[in-house]
Amino acid sequence: MTLPRITLILPIIIANGILCAQDIVPAAGIHQEESEYWSKEWTKDHYYDEKGAETPSSYIADPVKELQAKVLGWHPYWAASSAYQKYDYSVLSHIAYFSYEVDTATGGYSTIRGWESTPIIDYAHQRGTKVLLTVTNFGTSRNTALLSDTVKQKHLLETLIPLLKSRNADGVNFDLENVALSQKSNLVSFMQRAVSEINAEMPSAEISMATPAVDWSGSWDLKNLSEVCDYLIIMGYNYYWSGSSTAGPVAPLLNETYNVSRSVNTYLDAGVAPGKLMLGVPWYGYDWPVEDDSRKSKTTGTGTARTLAVAESIALIHSRTFDGLTKVPWVSYMLSSAWRQLWFDDSQSLLMKYDYSLSKALAGIGIWALSYEGTVAGAWSSLKEAFLSTIPVKSAITRIFPNPLSYYAQIEYDVASLSDITLKICDMNGRVMEVLEEGSREPGRYTVDLDASHYGQGVYICVLNSGKTSSSRKIVIIKQ
């Protein structure tokens, strides 16, 4: 059986003989690997969808999304042409279209991958989701060429801004990977210039950066960059990559030498405000040929990236193990009489990362990459569970179960804003029989038990007073 891949893999660079597999610096991140692979597969002859005709691109609907934080997803140009129609926009605050590819000879672009014609912009706007254009530039020499030349930077921005305005974009996401230490200050200067010039033409534009999980070169002035940009998105994945010497978790939440928690804390300790930081999460995994079926077995060849949909299909066929140390699932299986090991994130491990980002009060999460979920429903349901707001819109009694009742019931009620509440049971004449709860309550949903064993048969009223609002429901007690 031949399994589909999402990328070809580049070799790694071994750093100073360090033994730990995680301490070997990957030559390229997953964004770069896949971009370079698809640039060969996806030629200029490929068909880009015509701009959608549902609404003009100047139209932006802005329904209220009850999200607890930003949920951004990168939409790669190589996604299936209809993939964007299957996204759940109720839980997507932003889409970052991938990508405008910088031509470092001039500072302009070598391609914009159908930005001028893609229907996703209008489609997302119509559903209240903002759309950013991702600007990519990969490799140390390429970034040095751009960051050390203000003329090229000027041309980039003069080219970029009209493209943003022509499609009524909501901002830019800069993805500059493998920046040399010598360009540390130039990177900050370039971002200051980009923010100044873009906001001069588009005052409400959001400007962000995709930033490394581990700053191997020391090139990233995280605090200053976070103060310049609206937010930074840690690419919290590829801790184990295609060339790793052992199989392992792409995005370990805990343990390992480097992990998601350590990356987030490194940013916070550097002075990045939580509200300026987003956590990138992987909707993909790596599948390596390995020596045997032991956990984190030694690899015998290059790993292959698998989309979430493909990884889930492999896990359904073979035995999935949830790794308690790193909080990531993995699968060991045989293919053509050889062992393979797949590590990936599923709805369980992703939900743990979403909850972690909320516990650290981060600005939100970023997904690499949209369309990789295929038909995996858990990809969207876990996002909803974590990020859809649970704050009630009004204070009210929502449920009494069972009702009618004989002896015991549960009463469920919502509190919409911080207020003093009283929950009581009254008879039909308004006489208070019992006060079940009283005091200050934060917004949220509450449950209280009612012991009606000492009540006589009849009809009673459950009353909730919350601030200046009142809610009541009948309770029928039947003694058998």
pLDDT, position 60: 44
Alpha-carbon distances, residue 249 vs 21, 67, 255, 376, 443 (angstroms)? 11, 29, 10, 20, 37
How far apart (Å, rounded) are the C-alpha atoms in residues 366 and 73?
5
Confidence band for 431, pLDDT divided at 50, 70 and 90: very high
Higher-confidence residue of 450 and 1: namely: 450
pLDDT, position 134: 98
Q: Using the 8-state DSSP alphabet, how is residue 213 labeled? A: S
Q: Residue holding tokens 């204070």?
A: 395
With b meaning 16 or more CB within 10 Å and e meaning fewer, what string describes 135-159?
bbbbbbebbbbbbebeebbebbbeb
DSSP 3-state assignment of 151? helix
Confidence band for 471, pLDDT divided at 50, 70 and 90: very high
Whether the per-residue pLDDT at 46 is higher than 80: the answer is no
Confidence band for 445, pLDDT divided at 50, 70 and 90: confident
Higher-confidence residue of 54 and 331: namely: 331
Domain boundaries, the chain: 21-387, 396-477
Whether the per-residue pLDDT at 439 is higher than 70: the answer is yes
Confidence band for 21, pLDDT divided at 50, 70 and 90: low
How far apart (Å, rounded) are the C-alpha atoms in residues 195 and 19?
41
pLDDT tens column, 92-146:
999 999 999 999 999 999 999 999 999 999 999 988 999 999 999 999 999 999 9
Q: Which two tokens stand for residue 439?
A: 């005091």
pLDDT, position 394: 86
Of 50-59, 60-69, 448-457, the one with minimum mean pLDDT is 50-59
Confidence band for 45, pLDDT divided at 50, 70 and 90: very low
pLDDT, position 22: 66
DSSP 307-328: EHHHHHHHHHHS-EEEETTTTE
Q: Using the 8-state DSSP alphabet, how is residue 256 labeled? A: S
Whether the per-residue pLDDT at 10 is higher than 80: the answer is no
pLDDT, position 8: 32
Whether the per-residue pLDDT at 165 is higher than 70: the answer is yes
pLDDT, position 63: 52
pLDDT tens column, 264-323:
999 999 999 999 999 999 999 999 999 999 999 999 999 999 999 999 999 999 989 999
Determine what percent of the chain is predicted with pLDDT higher than 90.
78
Higher-confidence residue of 193 and 7: namely: 193
Q: What is the mean pLDDT of residues 74-98?
A: 94
pLDDT, position 59: 41
Q: What is the mean pLDDT of residues 391-408?
A: 86
Higher-confidence residue of 57 and 317: namely: 317
pLDDT, position 26: 66
Q: What is the mean pLDDT of residues 468-475?
A: 93
pLDDT tens column, 321-379:
999 999 999 999 999 999 999 999 999 999 999 999 999 999 999 999 999 999 998 99
Fold agreement (21-387, 396-477): no
Beta strands in 156-202 (DSSP E): 171-177
- Number of helical (H) and strand (E) elements in the chain, helices listed first: 10, 21
Confidence band for 230, pLDDT divided at 50, 70 and 90: very high
pLDDT, position 160: 98
CATH topology of domain 396-477: Immunoglobulin-like (2.60.40)
pLDDT, position 25: 61
pLDDT, position 402: 87
Whether the per-residue pLDDT at 401 is higher than 60: the answer is yes
Confidence band for 23, pLDDT divided at 50, 70 and 90: low
Q: Is there a contact between 101 and 110 (Cβ–Cβ < 8 Å)?
A: yes
Whether the per-residue pLDDT at 18 is higher than 90: the answer is no
With b meaning 16 or more CB within 10 Å and e meaning fewer, what string describes 190-221?
bbebbbebbeeebeebbbbbbbbbbbebebbb
Q: Which helix (H) or strand (E) holds 39?
A: helix 30-41
Q: What is the mean pLDDT of residues 144-152?
A: 98
Whether the per-residue pLDDT at 9 is higher than 80: the answer is no
Of 17-31, 96-110, 364-378, 422-436, the one with minimum mean pLDDT is 17-31
Q: In what order do the strands lie in the sheet with 320-323?
A: 304-307, 284-289, 338-344, 328-335, 320-323
From the options 3.40.50.300, 3.40.50.10140, 3.10.129.10, 3.20.20.80, give the CATH code of 21-387. Answer: 3.20.20.80
